Chain A
Amino acid sequence: MAKRTTAAHAAPNDAVPKRNGRLRLFSFANGFDMPFFILLLVVLAVGLVCLFSASFAYSYYRNGGDSYYYIKRQLIYAVIGVLIMIGVSFVDYHVLRRFAVPIMLGSWGLLGLVMLLPEIQNVHRWIRLGPISIQPSEIAKFAIILLFAHLISRNPEKIKSLKNGFLPMLGILGFTAVLILIEPHLSGTILLLMIGLVMLFIGGARLPHLGTIVGIGVVGVLIMVVFLGYEQDRIDVWLDPVGVYTSDVVYESGLTGRDVAWQTVQSLFAIGSGGLMGEGLGNSRQKHSFLPEPQNDFIFAIVCEELGFIGAVLIILLFAALVWRGFVIGMRAPDKFGSMLAIGLIAQIGMQVVFNLAVITNSFPNTGISLPFFSYGGSSLLMLLAQMGVLLSVSRQTKRLAGG
């Protein structure tokens, strides 16, 4: 199905790190990577505990005194998701190559469809199917990872060509990004672009090409923000959250400074008042109608308030360990496709975590991005766990290689 370049044939098979003689404690023959699996379950369990703590008060007020509304649903999705993940891990990931193009096309179709559907919370972001709702942008991210892994691994030298490799792929990425941007879904767009660029980077794109495109992007964003005043309110809040919060400013949208800065400031109140040791699990005050939707994007602010700096750092370490283990799987993958797929998937998790933490600590303007395995959202969790299943599938083959 693909044309192979001579260069690809000629490439020496010297890139696989030597792993002979290493003991793999948590693995069994043909099994998946046990450390990653356990780390993932721990993160998921901690995430569920935190979700319950963060959501019960909001749920109590919002769902007529039912504090368990969110946790019940999330728990069900988590169980189903883990089962799906294990199931997916048994599937040879190479099968996915066949679906790379269809999934990409399908995600474009869904991105187009979502624009035709009625708005939910003022944006075209979700497709509601009975009890669950799908975010086409989530599928698009996976589609880009899969497609780029497929295209680059099929012909690794082509990416170095600006005209035949880099630009066409950039075009695919850009087109997808625009579809997400018009939803509008700024954080999804940013994440998609970053994932795409990471894929191009590890896939071997020439640094001048990447540098140029990143440069153009940065200059473009600066022009939009600094000279055209795009997202001025978010930028103002980012620069001086408490100042905007207490000011009398009224933005074009009709929102006051207090409205605009509310979420960020409440997040900072939560994090800052947590201190070193925290208020104790369950004892957040900010979740009581101060921090809006504490079960969603800002869940980690409540975690910081309840568990303090120490608890927050421990959880970040867990994420870091998970990301590190994911990279290890990717870097030990038996082939380029598996490697790129695994690294793309784990990089997506890592970037989303960093991005989320940057937003809640106001290190980055508030764009609304969820924290993987923590934030409430059933279909999103299913999607994440299924992708982790793919990663585990890759890990099964590293074992076989290592054994061989």
Chain B
Amino acid sequence: MKRFHQQDVSMRAPSRRMWQRSLAVLTVMIVCFLAVCGKLAALQIAEHAQWQTLASEQQLADSVISDKRGTIYDRNGIVLAQSVEVATVIMMPSEIPNEASRVTICAELPELLQIDAAKLEKQTRKTGSRYEVIKSKIDKTLRAVFIEWVKEKNLTGAFRVIQDYKREYPNGSTLSCVLGFTGTDNTGLEGLEAKYNELLAGKAGRVITTKNGRGDALPNTIQYETTIDAEEGESIYLTIDANVQKIVENHLEVAVAETGAANRACAIVMDVRTDEVLAMATKGDYDLNNPRVLQNPDTAAQIALLSGDERSDALLTALQKQWKNKAISEFYEPGSVFKIFTASAALQEGLVSEKSQFFCNGTYTMAGVRTMKCHVFPRSHGSQSLAEAISHSCNPAFMTIGSLLGTARFPTYHERFGFTSLTGIDMLGEARVTATLYHAASAITAVDVATSSIGQTFKVTPIQMITGVSAVAGDGNLRTPYVVSHSVAADGTKTVLHTPTVRTRVISADTASRMCAMLEGVVDGGGAKNAYVAGYRVAGKTGTSEKTDQPAAENGRKNAVASFCGFAPANNPRIAVIVMIDEPQTYIRYGGTLAAPVAQKIFTDVLPYLGIEPQYTEEEWNSLRTTVPDVTGKTASAASAVLKSVGLSSRLVGSGTVTTQSPAAGTVISKNGMVVLYTDGQPPEQITVPDVTGKTLLEANGLLTDAGLNVSIVGWVNKVDNLNTQRQAVVTAQSIEKLSAVPKGTVIEIRILYQDAIE
């Protein structure tokens, strides 16, 4: 070593300058170290949160644990919509043990799970992946079969079955436009499902796992996992009664089929004491379990002819129309039904009373400028009381009443009955009546008042109409209608969402009850007599309006809306019913002939269902009906005498003691009915039922009585002159089919429709 030093001149120690410059280099380097530390502090402390967020976005895989959506019940706890457990099958291609297993999967699963074989083949080859959805929403049965298969093939490591839910509507199309439906992600898209989505939807749980840069889960040894449990959604209880809803939908569906209502039809049943909606139907509606299937075959066929964007646009438009709840979202001209409010307003203001007299000569000249005909023109109603004017639905009388109200008071009542605002019903899509659809107080003229008084030149929604009628039928208060009463959380906590709420008092309770009495007359022999239900005091008003703002159809007629709105019982109103048939294609298309009979059927079925007992008036009872007494065991003559004492005739077969009678004891039949009495050993006499459908009531009655049958009439019958003047009443249905063989004396029910109910 020493050798080198001695030979080397540079053995000389480093110079001071070198020492200084080295120190300078060291200093610069230390400064650089400090600067890097400063930069790290900025990144790791000051900007930590933002980098953490960005990093987490790519590092964490978030898989959702489905939440169970709440159930929708009717008012009695009948399930209308529920979530059922289904399963989603996840494959983990990275865990498929070998090629043989992969081949087995590709060969057997497509058939087992009904999936695309080519797609599955591709998925099995993603060997880096641990999350491939191969089939979603399989039901419990298939899940069990699948799990069995997995075990059998020893592939438990390669598959996962994740719990999910599917929305199910047990009643198919019932209440479809009200309930709405959910998307595949179980989020409400339409109707109450959408409106109450926040409440119904639970909180999805999450499993947060780390993933690597290729999107795969990390190896188990270094996996990080956090689970947040899913929370079940709340269930909601509707005010809707599923049974009432079914009754309404059945009758409405028949009406749509019979009338060919081109723009659908709708009906609402409401409790007038609370404004709870008991039923709300739109026909044609759709199947809740397959909402994207078009129900109207004509529309479907038309769309099938299109292609591309045009087709998808047309399909979407048609579907959206099919999903729309007509009862709250579509406007129509109310026509004569509105006369209820004209009369109520004038009665409240003291401008008219039951004693007022109105004269109709067939026409009315509005504000001295325009002449309008009464609907009976060229005939006329002549002199009539207020009740008669309502019953006649006399246009001149109501335009007179309108002129009494004038341009100041008419719009006030129009507004107070709720026709210029939303009803506030707890549903999505209630249409707002804009000022262009009615005559605002600031601009209304005397002619406008006259036309508006008879329900023309402005529009309302069905829900507005029934809410207004409910105010008249109730105590004169306008309430906010609602369809959801309360919710119940998964832990049983009940939350009341709506209670009866009075918006405003429109007319006094006294005015309301006076109106009810007069409106009963409309059904009892007036324009709405087709809505008559024996045993119940039905009140109401029909309306027919032409769509004057639309071009005429091919046959030169403009489309029309036939409607009825009424309530029962008139002396103590419980329910209001509105029926609206939009664009019927029949020749006769009055509210009285098309809508009132639907309401009649609804009242007939719903009133007893709601526990409202029929109360036949003494007049009704005495003049029309009697209960057949038990006369078996009596001698023929004694039996005959008993029957005669209650107004029934008898016909004896054989002789001696009566062993059998037809109809049986306890049956209610009309007075002047006949009871066939059989004595010992005599077989019942069979007769053939004649076809009376389409005949007038008078003809039908003759045919049936002559054949030896007892007749029971469904519909209004004039108590005074009974059947004789009922030439306008036509039989629309008979309870026993024609040509059937029945024992003599059997009661046959015939349903009648008055063709002269032209309002």
Give me the interface of A with B, judged by CB distance under 8 Å. Answer: 2, 4, 8-9, 11, 13-17, 57, 60-61, 92, 94-95, 97, 153-154, 156, 198, 201-204, 242, 268-276, 282-283, 285-286, 288-290, 304, 308-309, 312-313, 316, 319-320, 323-324, 327, 330-331, 333-337, 339-340, 343, 347, 350-351, 353-354, 357-358, 361, 363
Query: Contacts A272-B51, A331-B23: A154 and B10 contacting too (C-beta < 8 A)?
Result: yes
Are A15 and B13 in contact, CB atoms less than 8 angstroms apart? yes
Are B25 and A273 in contact, CB atoms less than 8 angstroms apart? no
Are A275 and B44 in contact, CB atoms less than 8 angstroms apart? yes
Which residues of chain B come closer than 8 Å to A61, judged between CB atoms? 212
Are A288 and B36 in contact, CB atoms less than 8 angstroms apart? no
Cross-chain contact of B8 among A11, A94, A282, A308 (Cβ < 8 A): A94
Answer whether residue B1 sits at the interface, using C-beta atoms and an 8 A cutoff: yes
Given contacts A309-B40, A323-B26, A357-B40, could you give 18 more A-B pairs where the C-beta distance is less than 8 Å? A4-B9, A94-B4, A97-B8, A269-B55, A285-B55, A285-B210, A286-B55, A290-B59, A304-B43, A316-B33, A323-B33, A324-B30, A334-B11, A335-B5, A335-B10, A336-B18, A339-B22, A350-B32
Are B44 and A15 in contact, CB atoms less than 8 angstroms apart? no
14 A-B pairs whose Cβ atoms sit less than 8 Å apart in the complex: A4-B9, A15-B13, A15-B18, A94-B1, A202-B18, A204-B18, A269-B55, A272-B48, A272-B51, A272-B54, A286-B55, A304-B43, A324-B26, A336-B13
Answer whether residue B617 sits at the interface, using C-beta atoms and an 8 A cutoff: no
Complexed CA–CA distance, A304 and B48 (Å): 12
Complexed CA–CA distance, A198 and B55 (Å): 39
List residues 1-48 of chain B with CB under 8 A from any CB of chain A.
1, 4-5, 8-19, 21-26, 29-30, 32-33, 35-37, 39-41, 43-45, 47-48
Are A304 and B210 in contact, CB atoms less than 8 angstroms apart? no
Which residues of chain B come closer than 8 Å to A283, judged between CB atoms? 222
Query: Contacts A270-B55, A288-B210, A290-B59: A304 and B40 contacting too (C-beta < 8 A)?
Result: yes
Nearest residue (CB) in A for B4 is A94
Nearest residue (CB) in B for A95 is B4
Count chain A CB atoms within 10 A of each CB in B32, B35, B36 and give the residue with the most: B36
Which residues of chain B come closer than 8 Å to A97, judged between CB atoms? 4, 8
Chain B min CB distance to A180 (Å) = 22
Are B4 and A288 in contact, CB atoms less than 8 angstroms apart? no
Which segment of B140-148, B213-221, B729-737 sits at the interface?
B213-221
Complexed CA–CA distance, A271 and B12 (Å): 47
Which residues of chain A come closer than 8 Å to B210, judged between CB atoms? 285, 288
Query: Contacts A92-B1, A272-B47, A324-B30: A156 and B15 contacting too (C-beta < 8 A)?
Result: yes
Which residues of chain B come closer than 8 Å to A92, judged between CB atoms? 1, 4
Complexed CA–CA distance, A327 and B28 (Å): 12
Are A202 and B25 in contact, CB atoms less than 8 angstroms apart? yes
Answer whether residue B50 sits at the interface, using C-beta atoms and an 8 A cutoff: yes
Answer whether residue B365 sits at the interface, using C-beta atoms and an 8 A cutoff: no
Chain B 198-240 near chain A by CB (<8 Å), digits 1 or 0? 0000000000001111100011001000000000000000000
Are B29 and A354 in contact, CB atoms less than 8 angstroms apart? yes
Chain B min CB distance to A306 (Å) = 12
Complexed CA–CA distance, A324 and B22 (Å): 11
Cross-chain contact of B14 among A269, A285, A331, A353 (Cβ < 8 A): A331
Are B13 and A335 in contact, CB atoms less than 8 angstroms apart? yes
Are B14 and A16 in contact, CB atoms less than 8 angstroms apart? yes
Are B25 and A198 in contact, CB atoms less than 8 angstroms apart? yes
Nearest residue (CB) in A for B16 is A15
Q: How many A-B residue pairs have CB under 8 A?
A: 190
Nearest residue (CB) in B for A267 is B43
Cross-chain contact of A13 among B13, B44, B56 (Cβ < 8 A): B13
Are B18 and A340 in contact, CB atoms less than 8 angstroms apart? yes
Chain B min CB distance to A295 (Å) = 15
Main DSSP-derived SS at the A contact region: helix
Complexed CA–CA distance, A333 and B37 (Å): 30
Which residues of chain B come closer than 8 Å to A309, judged between CB atoms? 40-41, 44-45
Complexed CA–CA distance, A363 and B10 (Å): 40
Complexed CA–CA distance, A33 and B214 (Å): 48
Chain A min CB distance to B736 (Å) = 79
List residues 572-609 of chain B with CB under 8 A from any CB of chain A.
none
Are B10 and A336 in contact, CB atoms less than 8 angstroms apart? yes
Cross-chain contact of A154 among B9, B30, B56, B213 (Cβ < 8 A): B9
Cross-chain contact of B45 among A60, A198, A275, A340 (Cβ < 8 A): A275
Complexed CA–CA distance, A11 and B14 (Å): 10
Which residues of chain A come closer than 8 Å to B51, judged between CB atoms? 268-269, 271-273
Answer whether residue B445 sits at the interface, using C-beta atoms and an 8 A cutoff: no
Answer whether residue B495 sits at the interface, using C-beta atoms and an 8 A cutoff: no
Are A204 and B15 in contact, CB atoms less than 8 angstroms apart? yes
Chain B min CB distance to A233 (Å) = 21
Query: Contacts A201-B21, A323-B26, A361-B40: A15 and B1 contacting too (C-beta < 8 A)?
Result: no
Are B14 and A268 in contact, CB atoms less than 8 angstroms apart? no
Cross-chain contact of B43 among A271, A313, A330, A339 (Cβ < 8 A): A271
Nearest residue (CB) in A for B23 is A331
Complexed CA–CA distance, A330 and B41 (Å): 32
Cross-chain contact of A204 among B17, B39, B40, B214 (Cβ < 8 A): B17
Complexed CA–CA distance, A201 and B26 (Å): 12
Are B48 and A276 in contact, CB atoms less than 8 angstroms apart? yes
- Please give me the 9 A-B residue pairs with the lowest Cβ-Cβ distance, nearest first: A272-B51, A289-B213, A288-B212, A153-B10, A94-B4, A269-B55, A16-B13, A339-B14, A273-B55
Are A327 and B26 in contact, CB atoms less than 8 angstroms apart? yes
Are A271 and B40 in contact, CB atoms less than 8 angstroms apart? yes
Chain B 180-211 near chain A by CB (<8 Å), digits 1 or 0? 00000000000000000000000000000011
Answer whether residue B58 sits at the interface, using C-beta atoms and an 8 A cutoff: yes
Nearest residue (CB) in B for A320 is B33
Chain B min CB distance to A185 (Å) = 22
Are A327 and B40 in contact, CB atoms less than 8 angstroms apart? no
Which residues of chain A come closer than 8 Å to B58, judged between CB atoms? 269, 290
Nearest residue (CB) in B for A349 is B29
Are A290 and B52 in contact, CB atoms less than 8 angstroms apart? no
Which residues of chain B come closer than 8 Å to A313, judged between CB atoms? 37, 40
Complexed CA–CA distance, A242 and B47 (Å): 13
Chain B min CB distance to A29 (Å) = 15
Are B44 and A11 in contact, CB atoms less than 8 angstroms apart? no
Are A358 and B36 in contact, CB atoms less than 8 angstroms apart? yes
Nearest residue (CB) in A for B211 is A288
Chain A min CB distance to B755 (Å) = 74
Complexed CA–CA distance, A64 and B161 (Å): 29
Are B14 and A272 in contact, CB atoms less than 8 angstroms apart? no
Which residues of chain A come closer than 8 Å to B14, judged between CB atoms? 15-16, 331, 333, 335-336, 339-340
Complexed CA–CA distance, A153 and B41 (Å): 42
Cross-chain contact of B48 among A94, A273, A320 (Cβ < 8 A): A273
Which residues of chain A come closer than 8 Å to B12, judged between CB atoms? 8, 11, 13, 335-336
Are B25 and A347 in contact, CB atoms less than 8 angstroms apart? yes
Query: Contacts A57-B222, A273-B48, A361-B36: A2 and B56 contacting too (C-beta < 8 A)?
Result: no
List residues 533-560 of chain B with CB under 8 A from any CB of chain A.
none
Which residues of chain A come closer than 8 Å to B4, judged between CB atoms? 92, 94-95, 97
Complexed CA–CA distance, A94 and B50 (Å): 54
Which residues of chain A come closer than 8 Å to B39, judged between CB atoms? 357-358, 361, 363
Nearest residue (CB) in A for B32 is A354
Nearest residue (CB) in B for A397 is B1
Which residues of chain B come closer than 8 Å to A361, judged between CB atoms? 36, 39-40, 43
Nearest residue (CB) in A for B36 is A357
Nearest residue (CB) in A for B42 is A361
Which residues of chain B come closer than 8 Å to A323, judged between CB atoms? 26, 29-30, 33
Are B16 and A14 in contact, CB atoms less than 8 angstroms apart? yes
Count chain A CB atoms within 10 A of each CB in B22, B24, B50, B52 and give the residue with the most: B22
Complexed CA–CA distance, A347 and B24 (Å): 12
Which residues of chain A come closer than 8 Å to B1, judged between CB atoms? 92, 94
Chain B min CB distance to A369 (Å) = 13
Complexed CA–CA distance, A9 and B10 (Å): 10
Which residues of chain B come closer than 8 Å to A304, judged between CB atoms? 40, 43-44
Query: Contacts A92-B1, A290-B59, A361-B36: A337 and B22 contacting too (C-beta < 8 A)?
Result: no
List residues 56-88 of chain B with CB under 8 A from any CB of chain A.
56, 58-59
